[in-house]
Structure 1
Amino acid sequence: MYKITNKKMLDSNTFLMDIEAPRIAKSCLPGQFVIVRSDEKSERIPLTICDYDTNRGTVTVVFQALGISTRKISTYEIDESFLDFVGPLGHPSDLLNEDLEVLRNKSIVFVADGIGAAHVYPQVKWLYDHGIDADVIVGCESKEHLLLEKEMRTISANSYIATNDGSYGYKGSAEELLKELIENERKNYDHIVAVAPMTMMKSICEFTKGFGIKTIVSLKQIMIDGIGLCGGCRVTVGGETKFTCIDGPEFDGHLVDFEEAIRRQAMYKKEEAHKCRVGLNL
């Protein structure tokens, strides 16, 4: 059993939890994920590893209570436990494979919309811990939905905020702010990591391709079982079939067939909506 040692509500339906999992905490790398199962009758849920503490033996996950399973785990409180907490799974960020001196000479920006902030945070933190500063753009609908602002500002000298309604920071989307920085403020980025809704990542990649900027995207949102058995996260990258959970979750965005990925993401929307209505007696 994997005990919850800390729980925070970050906005109206987004939760942060620290889970006691010492062996996983010792093995985590930025960009990886875990599979969570609350009890014997629950489905497997892939969740991004937002942070980890080897001294305390805890792993931090951030999730939105949208489907029936995430709504269920959002009701768990401190000292309650999950039946399964498996990981770390997936490949870590490709930044970890580069020479540190090469990275220090690169201009890197992370673009995160909504809960995407939880995915990029450990990568920005890893760079910071190795003496490398990166820009970060965090976008959300409005100020009340902004995630991890304080944490991001601690590890990034240039942390930008964008809200769609203009209630805080730049008025517009994270994508629009990225374009503003590149086109009008003449930011010369060498490497972009984008974690956002599928359509936004597609649009960002179309934009950055024209500038020749390497752009990495995370496709974790289409994963299901997390170990490649169900085939539900198949995606075409560079003309080859990849499984997001075992070959990713990050890929070169300029090679991703986003139209296919968007169709795949929508495959189970009706079933999930029905399950939510039945499970919650709506």
Structure 2
Amino acid sequence: MTHIIEKTDLNKQVFRVVLDAPLIARKASPGQFVIVRVDDAGERIPLTISDYDREKGTITLVVQVAGATTLQFSKLNAGDVLADVVGPLGKPTELNGIKRAAVIGGGVGCAIAYPVARELSRMGAQVDGVIGFRNRELVILENEFEEACASLHLMTDDGSAGDKGLVTDALKKLIESGVRYDRVFAIGPLVMMKFVSALTREYGIPTVVSMNPIMIDGTGMCGGCRLTVGGKMCFACIDGPDFDGHQVDFDEMIMRSKTYADFEKHAYEEGCNLFAGRCE
């Protein structure tokens, strides 16, 4: 069992938990993830580590309520326990040799992008952060990004916070201003990563994306997280989750991501009824 030390709601659909997990914290690096089971009968869900503290022996997860299990998770509080947390899994993000980078986060993907930006800054790189959300109410981790980045560009679809537009608008403006990036990191919705990668391909900028498809065991045995990269089949859990954004078949991934949408929606609605909550 893993104890929840702290629980904070970041907005109506996203919450942050700090877990007592000293063995995972000791080995964790940016880009890696854990597999969580909320209870003994629950499904296994992959969640990327948003932060870790080796001295305190804690890891931090930022979770978006997207289905029945994450809804159940959201009802837990400090002092409650999770059935088990396995990790760290996946390959750490490669950060060596970078002098200047753009770190792009979209929605809850900002929770994955943040440790990348922070570690790059710690290693001496100059980091331009670009984070995007639909509106002001959904903005998360703005202060954390401001501390980690040399510059931060906040974008919202409706202009209610930061500048109105998409993360690709801000990135294109930075590139066309003459900034030369060694690498761009894009983490967020599949569509966002697809168009960031399409933009950077035009300018020949190496781009890393973090892929989070359906995943069960997290060790390459089930094959649920397979994706096509450069015409070859890869597994996100053991070959990734980071991949060359210019090589990923995003259209295939977008199609596969919808496979269980109807089942997940039904389970979520049943969960709302169970917890007497609201499906917003």
Query: Among residues 249, 255, 265, which one is paired with 2:247 in the alignment?
Result: 255
The Cα shift of 1:160 comes to 1.2
Could you list the runs of 5+ residues in structure 2 that have no partner in the other structure?
Answer: 274-278
- Displacement, 1:278? 3.0
Q: 2:57 maps to what in 1?
A: 57
**Partners of 2:67 and 2:116 in 1: CA distance:** 27
Matched, 1:219 2:211: yes
Q: Which moved more, 1:40-49 or 1:195-204?
A: 195-204
- What is the TM-score with the length of structure 2 in the denominator? 0.94
Q: Please state if 1:145 is matched with 2:138.
A: yes
User: 1:273 is aligned with what amino acid?
Assistant: K
Is residue 103–residue 128 contact of structure 2 (8 Å, CA) maintained in 1? Answer: yes
- TM alignment of 1:76-87, pairs within 5 A: 76-87=76-87
Q: Which residue of 2 aligns with 1:272?
A: 264
Residue 130 of structure 1, aligned match among 119, 123, 130:
123
TM norm structure 1? 0.93
The one-letter amino acid paired with 1:172 is: G
**8 A Cα contact 1:233 1:264, kept in partner:** no
Number of the residue aligned with 1:31? 31
- Is 1:246 matched with 2:246? no
Equivalent of 1:237 in 210, 218, 229:
229
Give the AA of the match of 1:29. S
One-letter code of the match for 1:28?
A: A
Given that 2:207 and 2:244 are in contact with CA atoms closer than 8 Å, whether structure 1 keeps it comes out as: yes
* 8 Å Cα contact 2:225/2:235 also seen in 1: yes
1:76 shift after superposition: 0.4
How far apart, CA to CA, are the structure 1 residues paired with 2:51 and 2:115?
6
CA contact (8 A) 2:68 2:270 kept: no
**Runs of at least 4 residues off by over 6 Å:** none
Rounded Cα–Cα distance in structure 2 between residues aligned with 1:221 and 1:117: 17
Runs of at least 5 residues in structure 1 that lack an aligned partner in the other structure: none
For the residues of structure 1 that align with 2:266 and 2:126, how far apart are their CA atoms?
45
CA RMSD of aligned residues (A): 1.4
Letter in 2 for 1:24: I
Contact 1:45 1:225 in 2 (8 A): no
Deviation per CA, 1:200-259, whole angstroms, max 9, x where unpaired?
Answer: 211111111111000111111443442223212111111111001111001001111111
CA distance in 1, matches of 2:218, 2:7: 24
What SS is found at the alignment partner of 2:259?
A: coil
Tell me if structure 1 keeps the 8 A contact 2:71–2:268. Answer: no
Greater mean alpha carbon deviation, residues 215-224 or residues 197-206:
215-224
- Distance of aligned partners of 1:186 and 1:135 in 2 relative to their CA distance in 1, 3 Å threshold: same
Give the AA of the match of 1:92. Answer: P
Q: 1:188 to 1:130 in 2, by over 3 A?
A: closer
- Distance, in Å, in 2 between the alignment partners of 1:248 and 1:188 is 26
Is the 1:137–1:162 contact (alpha carbons within 8 Å) kept by the matching residues of 2? yes
CA contact (8 A) 2:168 2:199 kept: no
2:194 is matched with which residue: 177, 202, 205?
A: 202
